[in-house]
C-alpha cells in the first residue's frame, strides 16, 4: 500500500507527464501551422482562358503610367502589361518554370498582416535590396525567432513594420527544432509538406547561426532543379479576378514577374494594385509568389 508521500510523488509525475505532453503538442502545432496558408484551393479554376488569349492584341505598357498605393493603376477597358518584382511565399519548393501555370488567390494566414506590410512598405523604402526583404519573408514563413536575426535584418524589419507588428513578430519565434521532434511533427503528413517543414527548420538554423550569406539561405529555401511534376495549369493561363477583369501571371524565376491584364468593355474601370496579388501554382511543390508594387521595367 502506498504512503501519502508516494501518492503525492505519483501525482507529481502524472502532472509532469501531462505538462510535457502538452508542451510537446504546442511545439508540434507551432511547427506545422503555416504562416501563410494561401493555396490552390483558394483559386478560381473555373473561369480561365488559354495562354494564347489576346496574342494579337496591342498591350499598353504600364511601366511609365501613374501609380499610387491607394488607387493602384486605374485601368479602362483594354489590354495592359507590366513587369514587376515578386517574392517567394513558400519555402521547400521549386522555383517557377515554363511548366507551371499560376492563378490569383488572396493572401491568407496567421502572418498575413506582417508579410503584407513587408511587401507593401518596400515601395516607400526602395533603397532596401530585394534580397533583404525576401530574407525577412522567409524568416517569417519559417517562424524564426526575431532575436536570432542579424542586426541588418532587424533594422530592415524596423523600417518596414510598425511597432505593433514588430511586437507581434517578436512573440512568434521558434528556434532550430531537434530531429526527434521534427520526425514526430512530420509523421503522417504528405511528402511536399514534410519537405517544406524541413526547409523551414533549416532556415531557422540559418538565422540562429548568425549567417548572412543570401546564396546559402536561397539554397535552403528552394529545391534545386526543375519540378518534375506536370502542372494542371499551363504557363500564362488567364484567370478571372473578383473585380471582373482577367490576368495572366508569367514569372521569370521567383524574383521577377511579367503580368498581362485584360479589362473587358463590361467593366468601366479597375484599380490594379500589384501587391494585392498572390500567384498560386497548381503544383503543391512549386512556389507561391506575391507581387510587389516595385517595377522591373529595365
Are 247 and 155 in contact by the 8 Å Cβ rule? The answer is no
pLDDT digits (tens, 9 = 90+) for 151-164: 999 999 999 999 99
Structural domains in the chain (count): 1
Is the residue at 181 inside a domain? Answer: yes
- Does some domain include residue 163? yes
- What's this model's pTM, rounded to 2 decimal places? 0.90
Q: Which residues contact 14 (CB under 8 A, 6 or more apart)?
A: none
CA–CA distances in Å: residue 136 to residues 111, 151, 273: 12, 12, 22
Overall average pLDDT of the 15-26 stretch: 48
In a domain, 3, yes or no: no
Domain residue limits at 286: 33-295
**Position 236 pLDDT exceeds 60:** yes
pLDDT tens by residue, 88-134: 999 999 999 877 899 999 999 999 999 999 999 999 999 999 999 99
Reply yes or no on whether the pLDDT at 9 is more than 80.
no
- Mean residue pLDDT across the chain: 90
**Residue 126 belongs to a domain:** yes
Bigger pLDDT: 84 or 209?
A: 84
Give the residue-averaged pLDDT of 242-264.
97
Residue 23 forms part of a structural domain: no
| Residue 104 forms part of a structural domain | yes
Kindly report which listed range (6-10, 145-149, 181-185, 210-214) carries the lowest average pLDDT score: 6-10
- 196: burial class by Cβ within 10 Å (0-12, 13-18, 19+)? buried
Mean pLDDT, range 171-196, rounded to an integer: 90
Please check whether residue 179 lies inside any domain of the structure: yes
Q: Per the domain annotation, does 16 fall within a domain?
A: no
Q: What is the pLDDT of residue 26?
A: 82
Give the pLDDT band of residue 210 (cuts 50, 70, 90).
low
Q: Is the pLDDT of residue 284 over 80?
A: yes
Is 90 exceeded by the pLDDT of residue 293?
yes
Residue linked to cell 492584341: 57
Average pLDDT over residues 227-233: 86
Amino acid at each position: 500500500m502506498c504512503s501519502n508521500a508516494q501518492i503525492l510523488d505519483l501525482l507529481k509525475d502524472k502532472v509532469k507527464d501531462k505538462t510535457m505532453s502538452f508542451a510537446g503538442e504546442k511545439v508540434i502545432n507551432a511547427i506545422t501551422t503555416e504562416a501563410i496558408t494561401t493555396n490552390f484551393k483558394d483559386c478560381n479554376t473555373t473561369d480561365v482562358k488559354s495562354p494564347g488569349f489576346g496574342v494579337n492584341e496591342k498591350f499598353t505598357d504600364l511601366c511609365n503610367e501613374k501609380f499610387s498605393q491607394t488607387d493602384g493603376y486605374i485601368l479602362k477597358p483594354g489590354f495592359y502589361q507590366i513587369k514587376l518584382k515578386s517574392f517567394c511565399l513558400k519555402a521547400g519548393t521549386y522555383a517557377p518554370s515554363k511548366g507551371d501555370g499560376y492563378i490569383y488567390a488572396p493572401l491568407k494566414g496567421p502572418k498575413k498582416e506582417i508579410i503584407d506590410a513587408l511587401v507593401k512598405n518596400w515601395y516607400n523604402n526602395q533603397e532596401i535590396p530585394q534580397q533583404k526583404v525576401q530574407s525577412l519573408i522567409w524568416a517569417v514563413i519559417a517562424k524564426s525567432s526575431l532575436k536570432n536575426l542579424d542586426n541588418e535584418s532587424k533594422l530592415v524589419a524596423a523600417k518596414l513594420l510598425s511597432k505593433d507588428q514588430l511586437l507581434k513578430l517578436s512573440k512568434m519565434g521558434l528556434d532550430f527544432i531537434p530531429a526527434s521532434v521534427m520526425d514526430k511533427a512530420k509523421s503522417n503528413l504528405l511528402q511536399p509538406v514534410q519537405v517544406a517543414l524541413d526547409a523551414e527548420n533549416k532556415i531557422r538554423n540559418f538565422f540562429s547561426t548568425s549567417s548572412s550569406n543570401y546564396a546559402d539561405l536561397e539554397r535552403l529555401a528552394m529545391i534545386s532543379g526543375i519540378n518534375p511534376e506536370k502542372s494542371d495549369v499551363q504557363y500564362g493561363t488567364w484567370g478571372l479576378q473578383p473585380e471582373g477583369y482577367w490576368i495572366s501571371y508569367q514569372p521569370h524565376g521567383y524574383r521577377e514577374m511579367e503580368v498581362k491584364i485584360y479589362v473587358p468593355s463590361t467593366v468601366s474601370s479597375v484599380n490594379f494594385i500589384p501587391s494585392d496579388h498572390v500567384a498560386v501554382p497548381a503544383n503543391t511543390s512549386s512556389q507561391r509568389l506575391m507581387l510587389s508594387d516595385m517595377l522591373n521595367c529595365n
